[in-house]
Amino acid sequence: MKLTSNRKNRIRHFHFLCIFFLFSYSSVVLSDEYVVNSHYCYGSNKEWFIEGRIVEAREDSQAKVSDNWIQNLWRKTRQLSNDEEKDTSINIIAQEQIFRLDTDDEGFFDIVIKPSPPVKSGWYEIKSIFNAETKPLCQLLVPDINNRTGIISDFDDTVIVSDITSKPKAIFNTMTLNFKQRELVTGMPDRFREILKQNPVPDHALLFFVTGSHKQMQKGLEDFLAYHNFPSHTTIAKKISGNNPDPILDQYQYKLEKITHILKLYPEVSFTLFGDDGEKDPEVYDTVRQNFSSQIGEIWIRKVSNDPDRKKYPNQRYF
């Protein structure tokens, strides 16, 4: 009997869901040891911000360009379904001091440290102590005092092609393609590097990615940025669970709060802003420009919207 196209599609969707739930179940029952992951680690000479999460480790095969969608879906599902170590003590070592923290009900921990006296510029190693093991957690950059140029950038459809204006395409790209198969927005790593070279000490320059992607997706973002050799950076992703979650749907308010915090932390730095017009970047950046005019250099917007009536804002250039 010949199948209709609609029935074929239903069968494909059924197979997809079966595989997805099989992977999800397998990810839950296959338990591993717990690891401490860093989400962000940045600060000034007077104030440091550190956040991380304790989750169940997953042994991941190395992603390959030749991987098929099933392999990628398996890997991504295991990443998203990690169990967390909630209500657990962890120690953070910074500046030879030990800070005791407790994770929340989703395994997250965070701390604000105020070095005394204020520290010099440079890279500082932060360590964690968990289950009697001391391990490196992250490298924290205190920018050089003479550096006056930084970058704040979106991620999806600004440095990576995500098709965010089509939610089904965006989800498909995220779940079935690995970071080596995702498409880079041409020239962005070199473009960022050239801007940061304006500083006397480029290796101590500030580059922030402020993304609406969830923290559970952050490993894929970091893998992509490393694979394409982006400069050293800090990624701030959206927290959708645990204590003090970010707004889930309000991209405008979420990004405005994060970028405002960065600008206030580094009042002497002028930032170039990169985003796209698929969601709220133009609106956020226009508000930021009005509120912090002396700290905003160029604003670059990647055009991805198909809406001919999409509003454009002054002092924003398109690419």
- Reduced to 3 states (helix: H, G, I; strand: E, B; else coil), residue 63 is coil
Give the predicted TM-score (pTM) of the model.
Answer: 0.88
Locate CATH 2.60.40.10 in the chain: 5-142
Q: Which two tokens stand for residue 109?
A: 């921990």
Model confidence at 6, pLDDT cuts 50, 70, 90, reads low
Task: Output the CATH code of domain 149-318.
Answer: 3.40.50
The side-by-side arrangement of strands in the sheet containing 122-130 is 97-102, 89-94, 122-130, 133-142, 34-43, 48-56, 108-113
Distances (CA, A) of 242 to 2, 104, 197: 50, 6, 38
DSSP per-residue letters across 2-26:
PPPHHHHHHHHHHHHHHHHHHHHHH
* CATH architecture of the domain with range 5-142: Sandwich (2.60)
pLDDT at position 78 is: 75
pLDDT digits (tens, 9 = 90+) for 72-130: 888 888 777 667 888 999 999 999 999 999 999 999 999 999 999 999 999 999 999 99
- Which residue has better confidence, 171 or 37? 37
Long-range contacts from 304-308, C-beta under 8 angstroms, 24+ separation:
304/157, 304/164, 304/165, 304/276, 304/277, 304/278, 305/165, 305/277, 305/278, 306/165
pLDDT digits (tens, 9 = 90+) for 201-239: 999 999 999 999 999 889 999 999 999 999 999 999 999
Considering the chain, what is the average pLDDT of its residues?
Answer: 89
Locate CATH 3.40.50 in the chain: 149-318
